[in-house]
Amino acid sequence: MPSADPDTLWETIRHGLSKQLPEASFKEWVVPCRPLRVEEGALWIQVPSPAAKLWIEQQLPEEFNDALAQGGLGDLRLVFLVSGSAPIEAETGTKSRSRAAVKPAQHQPAGFEEPAAAFPHLFHRYTLDRFVVGPGSQLAFAAARAVVDSYGKAATSLSMNPLFIYGGAGLGKTHLMVGIGKGMLAENPGLRVVYLKVDNFFNELTVAIKAKNTEPMRKKYQQNDVLLLDDVQTLGKMERTQEEIFYVLEYLLQHGKQIIITSDKPPQRLEGCHERLITRFKWGLTADIQPPDFETRIAILKKKLEDVDFKSVPPIPEDVLTFIAHKAKGSVRDLEGFLTRVIFQASLKGEPPTLEVAHAAFQGQSGEEPTASVPPERIYRMTAETFNVPFVDLMKKRSRQQTIMVPRQVAMYLAREIASLPFADIGRSFNMHHSTVMNAIDSVKLRMKRDQEFHRMVQALLNSIN
């Protein structure tokens, strides 16, 4: 560790966080923190309130991990202590490392170096059993489970190496990736598993190049049984990093080692990446993760409230969960962040987390009126444009043709999902009975569960309307 001085260590971490977080978030969550002491490889940090501790640990683990890695502090653990609370021993999950349970392999080759810990300690919540599966993540989760269950068994006709998971920011790619690694390590305690973010590999490589000795670094990653390679979309601007990553992947694939890769784009859309690298990415199975639908968002919120950190939180009323699920559609991170902000706002006011508190939290975060909604006509017109159907035909034409009926059903579904319109109001727009609207919406939901391409199309339309 470069320093044992808590102020010096904290300043390094603060510097890294200041480059990652928006200024408002940095001032709200990082600035009030104070370093306390360094003890047994852990930096103890004082936070102003239980809500602040909850937010940092739930919402910012990846940002803190990146700041540690970029500051050369990858082995430093962080323990957050609420101001005024009695000092406690670091939790077992924080003090111990995943690597501690790994048995050293016998007869290691010359130059063998014990790899870093398998997973950043701030990722302890990232497990497969905590991942809530919805229509937009079924394939990715099924592939994740298959990788865990099939490791070390006879090869099948379907190759899942590498498993390439892609999707927008905050949808759970890193969660799923780390969950796979933990699941494999639980089934096979002797495995050498390593998590590697591309940006951090770049920083490590820069140091090795300055020292004119990159071979030890390459071998360090080639000796693993499982490589978790995160955020490869940033590789396009890193020529030398691409070369080194290629050598690592090529070696691991030739020796039958498992690779999991995440990106915000599919392999064929990775700009600036060498063709030979893209070819390696596409060798196995590619699976995407789409934003969760309403039912999945509700399930995610309820699953989140089962976490031990939320045990002391007053019960969250159903109308509050519904409000959060309707307003936070973009990503799982947005959804969980809004839930945490509602709890934080309620604790500041000394009130239970009511719908009024949720409205205030939403307005404070977005600047929008909580009751403001998308006009129904905008929803209907954008649906008509997407399906290339005349607006008047969508609204009024009596037809059982799929070219009219399906877009109309989708428009009804979106009116319910986006604007929370009553069934009767939607029915009046289309001159239909409310029971017909209910059946149409159920039909869309059922098809979204069965047809991944249809689900992606509807979800993309929903996001564009919002």
User: Does residue 296 register a pLDDT over 60?
Assistant: yes
Shared domain for 76 and 120, answered yes or no, is no
Q: What is the separation of C-alpha 423 from the centre of its chain, rounded to a whole number of angstroms?
A: 33
| Number of domains forming the structure of the chain | 4
Shared domain for 154 and 279, answered yes or no, is yes
Answer whether 369's CB lies under 8 Å from 334's CB.
no
Q: How confident is the model over 341-350, as a mean pLDDT?
A: 83
105 falls within a domain: no
**Of 242, 268, 289, which residue constitutes the final position of a domain?**
289
99 falls within a domain: no
Q: How confident is the model over 179-207, as a mean pLDDT?
A: 89
Shared domain for 120 and 28, answered yes or no, is no
Shared domain for 389 and 298, answered yes or no, is no
Q: How confident is the model over 226-253, as a mean pLDDT?
A: 89
**What gap in Å lies between CA 235 and CA 232, rounded to an integer?**
5
Shared domain for 143 and 269, answered yes or no, is yes
Averaging pLDDT over each range in 141-145, 212-216, 234-238, which range is the top one?
141-145
3-state secondary structure the chain: CCCCCHHHHHHHHHHHHHHHCCHHHHHHHHCCCEEEEEECCEEEEEECCHHHHHHHHHHCHHHHHHHHHHCCCCCCEEEEEECCCCCCCCCHHHHCCHHHHCCCCCCCCCCCCCCCCCCCHHHCCCCHHHCCCCCCCHHHHHHHHHHHHHCCCCCCCCCCCCEEEEECCCCCHHHHHHHHHHHHHHHCCCCCEEEEEHHHHHHHHHHHHHCCCCHHHHHHHHCCCEEEEECHHHHHHCHHHHHHHHHHHHHHHHCCCEEEEEECCCHHHCCCCCHHHHHHHCCCEEEEECCCCHHHHHHHHHHHCCCHHHCCCCCCCHHHHHHHHHHCCCCHHHHHHHHHHHHHHHHHHCCCCCHHHHHHHHHHHHCCCCCCCCCHHHHHHHHHHHHCCCHHHHHHCCCCCHHHHHHHHHHHHHHHHHHCCCHHHHHHHHCCCHHHHHHHHHHHHHHHHHCHHHHHHHHHHHHHHC
CATH number for the domain spanning 423: value is: 1.10.1750.10
459 falls within a domain: yes
User: Does residue 276 register a pLDDT over 50?
Assistant: yes
Which has the minimum average pLDDT: 64-73, 179-188, 223-232, 355-364? 355-364
Q: Give the pLDDT score at 343.
A: 85
Shared domain for 331 and 407, answered yes or no, is no
Closest CA to 415 of 433, 427, 405: 427
pLDDT band at residue 106 under the 50/70/90 scheme: very low
pLDDT band at residue 262 under the 50/70/90 scheme: very high
Shared domain for 264 and 299, answered yes or no, is no
398 falls within a domain: yes
Bond prior to 162 in cis (omega within 30° of 0): yes
96 falls within a domain: no
Shared domain for 139 and 44, answered yes or no, is no
CATH number for the domain spanning 230: value is: 3.40.50.300
Q: How confident is the model over 18-29, as a mean pLDDT?
A: 87
**Of 366, 393, 416, which residue constitutes the final position of a domain?**
366
- pLDDT tens digits, 367-390: 555 455 678 888 898 888 888 888
User: Does residue 54 register a pLDDT over 50?
Assistant: yes
Q: How confident is the model over 74-80, as a mean pLDDT?
A: 87
274 falls within a domain: yes
**What gap in Å lies between CA 146 and CA 149, rounded to an integer?**
5
Q: Give the pLDDT score at 94.
A: 38
User: Does residue 116 register a pLDDT over 90?
Assistant: no
User: Does residue 245 register a pLDDT over 70?
Assistant: yes
Greater confidence, 108 or 162?
162
419 falls within a domain: yes
- pLDDT tens digits, 412-431: 998 888 887 889 999 999 98
Q: How confident is the model over 173-184, as a mean pLDDT?
A: 93
Q: Beta 34-39 vs 42-47: how paired, if at all?
A: antiparallel
User: Does residue 98 register a pLDDT over 70?
Assistant: no
CATH number for the domain spanning 54: value is: 3.30.300.180
CATH number for the domain spanning 326: value is: 1.10.8.60
Q: What is the mean pLDDT of the chain?
A: 82
344 falls within a domain: yes
Q: How confident is the model over 166-192, as a mean pLDDT?
A: 90
Shared domain for 176 and 203, answered yes or no, is yes
Which has the minimum average pLDDT: 115-124, 164-173, 258-267? 115-124
User: Does residue 258 register a pLDDT over 70?
Assistant: yes
CA angle 84, 89, 92 (to 5 degrees): 130
Q: How confident is the model over 96-101, as a mean pLDDT?
A: 38
User: Does residue 103 register a pLDDT over 50?
Assistant: no
Q: Give the pLDDT score at 3.
A: 65
Task: Identify the domain containing residue 72 by its residue range.
Answer: 6-87
User: Does residue 306 register a pLDDT over 60?
Assistant: yes
Shared domain for 80 and 210, answered yes or no, is no
Q: Give the pLDDT score at 111.
A: 43
Averaging pLDDT over each range in 102-116, 271-285, 313-327, 370-384, which range is the top one?
271-285
Q: How confident is the model over 361-368, as a mean pLDDT?
A: 66
Shared domain for 37 and 147, answered yes or no, is no
Shared domain for 216 and 120, answered yes or no, is yes
**Of 321, 342, 366, which residue constitutes the final position of a domain?**
366
Q: Percentage of the chain with pLDDT > 90?
A: 20
